[in-house]
Structure 1
Amino acid sequence: MSQKKKFLLRIDPKLYEALEGWAADEFRSVNTHIEFLLREAVRKAGRLPSKTGAKKENQNSEKEEE
């Protein structure tokens, strides 16, 4: 199993409460949900390394939309 990077995150209490409720709705911990949201944002931005070539497919579909 790979090691996970640990770091301190300071976050507004109201934002944390919103994330806490959202995470509960998705049956995730807040930590796991934040990681999920960050991974999705990075993937959508095309910045997550891909083993399957999904990044290239995403870039091609973006070019087709233009």
Structure 2
Amino acid sequence: MAVEKKAFVLRIHPETLKELEGWAQEEFRSVNGQIEFLLNDALRKRKKRSKDSTKDEPEASTDN
């Protein structure tokens, strides 16, 4: 079953687009595929950081 994707307009600086086009070409992806890959990677890393930061927080003390 195919995942439904939502289309939207992206405004981007021409220089940034040129860099993305080159990067996508190096990794054998379309520009759209490269942007989606980068966004998914950033979201995955953000979720991991969020989980790691909660591990570092001390447990709330119940002693008053």
Distance 1:25 1:33 in 2: 10
1:11 maps to what in 2? Answer: 12
Q: Determine if the alignment matches structure 1 residue 59 to structure 2 residue 60.
A: no
Distance 2:29 2:53 in 1: 31
1:24 maps to what in 2? Answer: 25
Distance 1:10 1:42 in 2: 20
Distance 2:37 2:27 in 1: 11
Q: 4+ residue runs of structure 1 moved beyond 3 angstroms?
A: 60-64
What whole-Å deviation, never above 9, does each CA across 1:6-64 have from its counterpart, x for those lacking one?
A: 00000000000000000000000000000000000011000xxxxxxxx5xx8248846
Rg larger in structure:
2
TM-score normalized by structure 2? 0.73
What is the number of equivalent residue pairs in this alignment? 54
Distance 1:62 1:18 in 2: 36
